[in-house]
Chains A and B, each alone.
Chain A
Amino acid sequence: MAELLFWPALLAYSEAAVAYLNDARHPGTGGRLATWGVRIGWLVQTALLGVQAARADGFPWSTWAGSLNLFVWLVVGAYLIWGCQPRYRLLGLAVLPLAVALFLLARIGGGTGVGDRSHYPNVFLVLHVGLVLAAFAGFTLAAALSALYLWQERRLKRRESSILRLHAPALARLDAVAARTIAFALPALTLGIAVGVVRLREHGGGLDALMAVTIVTWTVYGAYLALRHLAGWRGRRSAYLVLAGFVLVAVVRLALPVTHFAT
């Protein structure tokens, strides 16, 4: 059943990605189709996760591929909060292709089926994996917003005569929404790390590469919020900092988890 739900979800996300591309090339043509693709895809993926949860003996997203599946759902879910607004459709151009690629990767890794039971307790996994993934989904969205900010800022700086043809969110709004997203994501990461640290103390074990990079990531986003509130950092510098943080998120999410899940 879970396997069956994967394909319609992927199809809906792919349709949305193509519709967003079409909408960017010819504004007004694919926007609604794209939005509905995202909504339907997300609902089908929700059903898929529901089936996985119902059929699994324990927390079903404890593997690297399984967590990727959950991560995609969180990213698209977070995107849906703003993505339905016409001005944020450009954001879909970045988020949906990424979602499709990661969702496929999760499938290839076996993360969309019913996996084996993890040797970790369920409560720990729900709190630790859930919170960390929710935070990473927030950072991913903030990175997409910041990339859109830099692109829009560049167009304004170049005084592109076609700037009003393609509707993009305003700079101030992009900056504020990215900051708000991080303000929600960072406490989630803090709690997720705290849960991991508590377990590490109770059961022993050392600091691995993933944990170290996650702490650096936390520091970068913490610095972002501190600089924003204390030194008035806004705009281009802030956007670059968010993207720097996202590079670390990508490393944690894609390159390092194999070692962490193995432990």
Chain B
Amino acid sequence: MSIVLVGISHHKAPVELRERAALDSKHAGELARTLAGDNGEAVCLSTCNRTELYLADESADAAEEKAEAALLALESDLGPALYRLRGDAAALHLFRVAAGLDSMIPGEGEILGQVRAAHDGGATGPLLDRLFRQAMQAGRKARTQTAIGESPASVSSAAAALAEQVFGDLRDRSILVIGAGKTGELAIRNLVSRGASIAFVANRTGERAEELTERFGGEALPLARIEDELARADVVLSSTSAPGWVLTREQVERTLPARKGRPLFLIDLAVPRDLEPTIHELDGCYLYDIDDLEAVVAESLAGRRREAERAETIVAEEADRFRAWQASLEVVPAITSLRARAEQIRDAELRRAKLNDAERRAAESVTAAVLNKLLHLPTIRMKQAAAAADGVIYADAVRHLFGLEDER
């Protein structure tokens, strides 16, 4: 059985092409089962960045043709963007995908779940099942043994991660949102997903503020009341299109005594900026604007790329282990035949001997031990030879030496 991969990804295919080849999990599973047929194995991995078909078949050429035809049936213009990999290269590719090493953002966390979903929905047999399980293990190892997926990869997640640097757990932390436009929404989602809650939404128009509070909770406020409620907020998130300062240093300074030393984290996503920069100089106040957050993200992505080098080593080791396992499959039939032949001879000889029950039990035990000891080393050596790509030669030699050709 050979493993074949045919697919498209963000490396070669623009989003206009990828979106036409993207499949939801139900359709991906259906396609995999169709491609697998009765005896084959197939898995379809479809995400926003890639659609890949993994097939295990006796004929690699036939499998590749089948997979290519299936992808071209989804979108006929895919041809130039298609890539085709076989055997070890296909396995290594999946391991890198699962570890997030082939993603747009190195180490992104969603891909591991998507690989798992593809495996669960696919038509797997012994080969692809093992391949996908080991790929997921490689992905988990890369994430736990390196810091590839730890740092934030977007401005909104960086803002939330910085808030955690100040407060730790964001549960029970209140957010004052200034401006109810789309810009701040991602940051709100990130903060809320980490446990923070929206206390107030201040906006020029009450209607939009009400709309936001309906979705995320909190109370709508006019901009003029920001200062009144500032003392109760832990995080201020501002993203208005106002031309001047929406919140000044003096306003924040006046609320400090009421805060009783509680820190205040301010996120300014607006351009032009909403929050007076000198607020950052106040004791216990930490103000980050869009440039500061982008610098954090850039550094974090650079860190992920550095960690990716370490993750590549882990992934390569896992791919080697898979290759060794796959190679050992080549010699398994020869080993099984050899053991069966030996058992057959032992059984025949024991039948021929005239022994009482006690003697037979003793003879069975001794001969079984001799047989196991005798075959142990050849078994190990054949598996080692298989891992070193000489498995077929050794298997043929064993079949020839012991007359196992008929059992092939």
A46 CB → nearest B CB, Å: 31
List residues of chain B with CB within 8 A of the CB of A172: 166-168, 263
Are B303 and A165 in contact, CB atoms less than 8 angstroms apart?
A: yes
Give A233 to B299 CA distance when docked, in angstroms.
Answer: 34
B230 CB → nearest A CB, Å: 16
B291 CB → nearest A CB, Å: 9
Give A173 to B263 CA distance when docked, in angstroms.
Answer: 12
Are A236 and B263 in contact, CB atoms less than 8 angstroms apart?
A: no
List residues of chain B with CB within 8 A of the CB of A235: 261, 263, 283-284
Are A164 and B165 in contact, CB atoms less than 8 angstroms apart?
A: yes
Are A157 and B299 in contact, CB atoms less than 8 angstroms apart?
A: no
B171 CB → nearest A CB, Å: 12
B152 CB–A CB distance under 8 Å: yes
Are B284 and A234 in contact, CB atoms less than 8 angstroms apart?
A: yes
Quick one: which of A144-161 are within 8 Å of B by CB? 152, 156-157, 159, 161
A28 CB–B CB distance under 8 Å: yes
B47 CB → nearest A CB, Å: 26
Are A157 and B168 in contact, CB atoms less than 8 angstroms apart?
A: no
Give A58 to B81 CA distance when docked, in angstroms.
Answer: 83
A168 CB–B CB distance under 8 Å: yes
B161 CB → nearest A CB, Å: 5
Give A165 to B152 CA distance when docked, in angstroms.
Answer: 10
Give A157 to B285 CA distance when docked, in angstroms.
Answer: 9
A129 CB → nearest B CB, Å: 36
List residues of chain A with CB within 8 A of the CB of B300: 164-165
List residues of chain A with CB within 8 A of the CB of B168: 169-170, 172-173
Nearest chain A residue, comparing its CB with the CB of B173: A172
List residues of chain A with CB within 8 A of the CB of B288: 159
Give A195 to B304 CA distance when docked, in angstroms.
Answer: 57
- Known contacts A165-B151, A234-B262; is A170 also within 8 Å of B146 by CB? no
Are B165 and A156 in contact, CB atoms less than 8 angstroms apart?
A: yes
Are A168 and B298 in contact, CB atoms less than 8 angstroms apart?
A: no
Give A171 to B147 CA distance when docked, in angstroms.
Answer: 22
Give A157 to B162 CA distance when docked, in angstroms.
Answer: 12
Nearest chain B residue, comparing its CB with the CB of A168: B165
A206 CB–B CB distance under 8 Å: no
Nearest chain B residue, comparing its CB with the CB of A28: B147
Q: B362-385: contact bitstring with A at CB < 8 Å (1 yes, 0 no)?
A: 000000000000000000000000
Interface band, chain A: 20 to 34
A121 CB–B CB distance under 8 Å: no
Q: A152-193: contact bitstring with B at CB < 8 Å (1 yes, 0 no)?
A: 100011010111110111111100000000000000000000
B296 CB–A CB distance under 8 Å: yes
A50 CB–B CB distance under 8 Å: no
Within 8 Å by CB of B263, from A28, A163, A164, A171, lies A171
Are B261 and A232 in contact, CB atoms less than 8 angstroms apart?
A: yes
Quick one: which of B141-156 are within 8 Å of A by CB? 145-147, 150-152
Are B283 and A236 in contact, CB atoms less than 8 angstroms apart?
A: yes
A8 CB–B CB distance under 8 Å: no
Are A27 and B147 in contact, CB atoms less than 8 angstroms apart?
A: yes
List residues of chain A with CB within 8 A of the CB of B158: 164
Nearest chain B residue, comparing its CB with the CB of A164: B151
Are A234 and B151 in contact, CB atoms less than 8 angstroms apart?
A: no
List residues of chain A with CB within 8 A of the CB of B284: 234-236
B292 CB–A CB distance under 8 Å: yes
Give A238 to B298 CA distance when docked, in angstroms.
Answer: 34
A224 CB → nearest B CB, Å: 13
B280 CB–A CB distance under 8 Å: yes
B72 CB–A CB distance under 8 Å: no
Are B152 and A164 in contact, CB atoms less than 8 angstroms apart?
A: yes
Quick one: which of B251-295 are within 8 Å of A by CB? 259-263, 280, 283-284, 286, 288, 292, 295
Are A170 and B164 in contact, CB atoms less than 8 angstroms apart?
A: yes
List residues of chain B with CB within 8 A of the CB of A162: 299, 303
Quick one: which of B56-103 are within 8 Å of A by CB? none
Are A165 and B299 in contact, CB atoms less than 8 angstroms apart?
A: yes
List residues of chain A with CB within 8 A of the CB of B169: 170
Within 8 Å by CB of A157, from B164, B259, B280, B298, lies B280
- What residues make up the interface of B, taking CB atoms closer than 8 Å to A? 145-147, 150-152, 158, 161-162, 164-169, 259-263, 280, 283-284, 286, 288, 292, 295-296, 298-300, 303
10 closest A-B pairs by CB: A234-B261, A232-B260, A170-B168, A161-B299, A161-B295, A173-B168, A232-B261, A159-B292, A164-B151, A172-B167
**29 A-B pairs in the complex with CB atoms less than 8 angstroms apart:** A27-B147, A28-B146, A28-B147, A156-B162, A156-B165, A159-B288, A161-B292, A161-B298, A161-B299, A163-B162, A164-B152, A164-B165, A164-B299, A164-B300, A165-B147, A165-B151, A168-B165, A170-B165, A170-B166, A170-B167, A170-B169, A171-B167, A171-B263, A172-B167, A173-B168, A234-B262, A235-B261, A235-B263, A235-B283
Q: A164-B158, A170-B166 are in contact. List 4 more A-B contacts (CB 8 A).
A: A156-B166, A172-B166, A234-B261, A238-B261
- What residues make up the interface of A, taking CB atoms closer than 8 Å to B? 27-28, 152, 156-157, 159, 161-165, 167-173, 232-238
